[in-house]
Chains A and B, each alone.
Chain A
Amino acid sequence: QSVLTQPPSVSGTPGQRVAISCSGSSSNIENNYVSWYQQLPGTAPKLLVYTNNQRPSGVPERFSSSKSGTSASLAISGLRSEDEADYYCAAWDDSLRGVVFGGGTKLTVL
């Protein structure tokens, strides 16, 4: 059971916009930055978005994040087949004094 809650799967068609939710609590998401990671099949995870919707160089603007209270969301616009991957949210937890991850969401591009 992960501290952060994500839907197990989401799907969309090419060109669509999809959103992946991440639900936590006041000890993690509400009072700390959230980061999002993409893991393509058989590869190491990669940082997508962090802090206040910042993207590392090379990450397209199609990926964006938002936060409200104890929940966060990753939005992917202009969906492409290469976006098919597992996506994870993460945040520092003040009570646990460590980083907590969501269980991961598998994105399928139909």
Chain B
Amino acid sequence: DVQLLESAGELVQPGGSLTLSCAASGFSFSTFAMNWVRQAPGKGLEWVAGSGGTGSGGATDYAESVKGRFTISRDNSKNTLYLQMNTLKLEDTAVYYCTKGKGHSSSSAFGHWGLGTLVTVSS
């Protein structure tokens, strides 16, 4: 079975940094696209960033709201996805979900979701 386990979220001050990780199991990790999707408290879903599988040449894409501040990466040898978040803002407060794509491209549907981890940005 596919399992996606996000690292524990934290309380971070505005302007601070945090790196989330997502340990994946139950599938050929390198083959599939992996994405981060977030949900602010009481709000809808927002795509954050995507990392293509080997079939897409490992392309990365970012939402405009995080471009230049967040970096998505993956370690295929460890079956782990990362999201490095810098210069955090109050509006980055959200539950962050790790997702597995149905295919190798970041444009493929999010077939599996982790349970999510809460990141709170507050002073």
Contact = CB atoms under 8 A, between A and B. Distances in A.
A56 to B, nearest CB: 6
Interface of A: 2, 32-33, 35, 37, 39, 44-47, 50-51, 56, 86, 88, 90, 92, 96-104
Contact of A101 (B46, B50, B64, B97): B46
A47 B62 contact: no
Contact of B107 (A32, A39, A86): A32
Interface of B: 35, 37, 44-47, 50, 61-64, 97, 102, 106-107, 109-116
B63 A50 contact: no
A44 B61 contact: no
Given A45-B113, A50-B102, A101-B46, 6 more contacts: A39-B45, A50-B111, A92-B106, A92-B107, A98-B50, A101-B44
Given A44-B114, A44-B116, A45-B97, A90 B61 contact: no
Nearest to B98: A44
A19 B49 CA distance: 30
Contacts of A56: 111
A35 B47 contact: no
